[in-house]
Amino acid sequence: MKKLQKTSTDIIPTGYLWGGLVLLLLFSVLPFLYLISTSFSNQVEINAGHLIPHHPTLFNYRQLFSGNGPYVAHLVSAMRNSLEVSILTTILALVFGSLAAYAFARIRFPFRMSGLFAILSMQVLPSVSIVVPLYILFRNGLSIPIPFTHLAFQLTGPLLNTPWALIIAYASGTIPYVVWMVTGYFSTVPKELEESAYIDGCGMWGAMLRIIVPLSIPGLAATFIFSVLNNFDEFMFANAFTSTYRSQTIPIFISQLVGKHSLPWGLMCAAGVVATIPFVILSMVFYRWIVTGVTAGAVKG
Residues 208-227 that bind other proteins (CB under 8 A): none
Any bridge partners for residue 143, and if so which? 154
CA distance 254 to 126: 23
Contact status: 61 vs other proteins (CB under 8 A): no
Question: Which CB, 57 or 255, lies closer to other proteins?
Answer: 255
Is there binding between residue 294 and other proteins (CB under 8 A)? yes
**Residue 181: beta bridge partners?**
none
- In the bound complex, what is the minimum distance in angstroms from residue 83's beta carbon to other proteins? 13
* Interface with other proteins, residue 295, by CB under 8 A: yes
**40 CB neighbour count, 10 Å cutoff:** 20
Q: Please tell me whether residue 291 binds other proteins under the rule CB under 8 A.
A: yes
d(C-alpha 107, C-alpha 71), whole Å? 52
Query: Residue 20 belongs to what H/E stretch?
Result: helix 14-39
Q: Interaction with other proteins in 129-188: which residues (CB under 8 A)?
A: 129-137, 139-140, 145, 150, 158, 160-162, 168-169, 171-172, 175-176, 179-180, 184, 187
- Count of positions on this chain that bind other proteins (CB under 8 A): 134
Pick between residue 203 and residue 214 the one whose CB is nearest to other proteins.
203
CA-closest candidate to residue 105, choices 17, 233, 211: 211
Map the footprint of other proteins across residues 225-284, applying CB under 8 A. Answer: 229, 232-233, 235-236, 239-240, 243-246, 250-251, 254-263, 265, 268-269, 272, 275-276, 279-280, 282-284
Q: Is 11 in the site for other proteins (CB under 8 A)?
A: yes
**38 lines the binding site for other proteins (CB under 8 A):** yes
Pairing label, strands 152-154, 143-145: antiparallel
Distance CA 109, CA 132 (A): 36
Per CB under 8 A, contacts with other proteins among 64-123 are 68-70, 95-97, 99-100, 102-103, 107-110, 112-123
